[in-house]
Amino acid sequence: MKRTVFVVMLLTAIFGYAKAFQKELNDPVSPFPVRGFHLDLRIQAIPMPALKKLALQLAKGGINTLVMEWEATYPFQDEPLIPNRFAYTRDEVKAFIAYCSSIKLDVIPLQQSFGHVEYILRNPKYKDLREDQKDYSQVNPIRETEAKKLFTTLYRDLISTHNSPYIHIGGDETYLLGHSEESKKKIKAVGIGRLYGDYIKMLCDVVVGLGKRPVLWADIALKYPEALKGLPKETIFIDWNYGWDINMFGDHEKLMQSGFEVWGAPSIRSHPDNYFLTQWAKHFKNISDFVPLAKGLGYKGIIMTSWSTSGLYSPVFETTRDIVDLYAIRRVYPISGFNMLIAAFLESIKSGKALDAENFVYGYAKSQYGFDENDAKIFWKAVSTVPFEITQGKPINTDLSIDQMLDSTQKASVILAKLKPGKNLKEFEHYRLMAAIRVQYLTYQSIESRANAPEMNDEKLKSLIAELEALRSKELDKKFIELNSEVMYPSEITQENELRAAKIKVLLDRLKRVK
């Protein structure tokens, strides 16, 4: 009897091991212990139900870390001027963190603490911390005592609601280094790298003193490797790379030799993406190229960034120094339209191998929309057509004219309208809306180009009025509301619709004065 029981137990164990081994073969262990997704709430704040839905989608796909750039949506208790009108309640934040913990997601708070802090420094309460009194985006690194007090308060508040072992302190794109007279003196004495590094060291030391590990973007440290000296060993750098040479910011080898833990970061929304352009092929290539590179370099983490804006703002001045408001420069289509790129990232980090982008898209189109091989190829050609930006009325990185780009985009829009997805219809509608918005934009660009032609006169300008009036803003606005009402607040959607068509209205109002 005992022998029979033993045999049964042995066979059960062998079967279990075999099953686990087979699962590992089919679902290989990711080379990245930290598999993250970055959510940028600087604009396009996401209502809590949608935020939880997205967190679950990511967790099911293999993500174990969220980097939350709450910015002014976080309800700071001791600094009540910082939160904006879309700020969550403390109970909402705590409930979200608890929910994420229940689905095995670590939530790392990202608190910008050097650059990109205009949402804090815009308040007169913090004016003495500004590096520049006309550009409120950056802390003066010489004001260490005041900055240490403020950010220690903010970090402690974040620790009270988050249970992550990390705090992300930002540290990227500090364009204003050396603007203040105080900073200029320190640069003259010890160099710009020390100016940056001494301040970052102070922040990292605060984080370590609070029992957490500091995380920061690597671009400035790559540019000034002397800034690495003296930082606590617990510091982690995130090497963000959206498709450029690995040494773009500086000597990458020095970062690798520094001994600090490094994570990598590609992107699904980044420059030059905006309302009117998503460079799908570029982002797929970024995933395909950078994920295996990060694996080969031994990065311990990989974080997909998803920027709602550039992080640069256009101030509306009341006087020469007093700002009424700040408008985000470069807005992009909401996160709701990017499930395909999210899925590509999730697939790529399973093994860290290069992703075959076109085959992935074909497979995604088949499984998600029910397309056959031919329709899948047509779909990909349509969404990735003429992905070029226009600056000052000129197409960039192409010999195509605006009208040629418009013609190709109109054809792509017609193709998307004719395709008949068998499932996930609402998700597919985002591609159609993006194409329609781009057609409207390119049509406007064509009109504007003709309006600025040297031979244009009042009589000829009159003919453009009807063309501008024919642009379908109300129809697009209605569709935008329909597709994005769950992921954005009503007032945000209203603002998005107004700003997206602002140039059309401005030119139309100017031309209507022509009698």
Give the pair of three-digit tokens for residue 184: 């200029």
Among candidates 140, 142, 146, 151, which has minimal Cα distance to 110?
151
Give the pair of three-digit tokens for residue 147: 């900055």
Q: What is the rounded CA–CA span in Å between residue 440 and residue 454?
A: 24
Q: What is the mean pLDDT of the chain?
A: 93
Between these two residues, 263 and 4, which has the higher pLDDT value? 263
CA 200 to chain CA centroid, Å, is 23
Residue 320: band (very low, low, confident or very high) from pLDDT cuts 50, 70, 90 = confident
C-alpha distances out from residue 127 to 6, 120, 220, Å: 75, 9, 24
pLDDT at position 513: 86
Asked if residue 68 lies in contact with residue 52, where contact means CB atoms within 8 angstroms, the answer is no
- 93-97, 163-167, 228-232, 416-420: least confidently modelled range: 228-232
pLDDT at position 28: 59
Mean pLDDT of 57-76: 98
Asked if residue 236 lies in contact with residue 260, where contact means CB atoms within 8 angstroms, the answer is yes
Residue 131: band (very low, low, confident or very high) from pLDDT cuts 50, 70, 90 = very high
pLDDT at position 514: 76
Mean pLDDT of 140-162: 98
pLDDT at position 515: 64
Residue 22 has pLDDT above 50, yes or no: no
Asked if residue 199 lies in contact with residue 147, where contact means CB atoms within 8 angstroms, the answer is yes
Residue 4: band (very low, low, confident or very high) from pLDDT cuts 50, 70, 90 = low
Which distant-in-sequence residues (6+ apart) come within 8 Å of 499 by Cβ? 275, 327, 331
pTM of the model: 0.92
Among candidates 439, 441, 453, 448, which has minimal Cα distance to 511?
448
Residue 346 has pLDDT above 70, yes or no: yes
Asked if residue 294 lies in contact with residue 264, where contact means CB atoms within 8 angstroms, the answer is yes
DSSP 79: -
Neighbours of 167 (CB within 10 A): 28
pLDDT at position 472: 85
pLDDT at position 459: 86
Q: What percent of the chain has pLDDT over 70?
A: 94
Give me the numbers of helices (H) and strands (E) for the chain, helices first please. Answer: 19, 13
Mean pLDDT of 327-339: 94
Residue 1 has pLDDT above 90, yes or no: no
Mean pLDDT of 85-95: 97
Q: What is the rounded CA–CA span in Å between residue 169 and residue 166?
A: 10
Asked if residue 393 lies in contact with residue 422, where contact means CB atoms within 8 angstroms, the answer is no
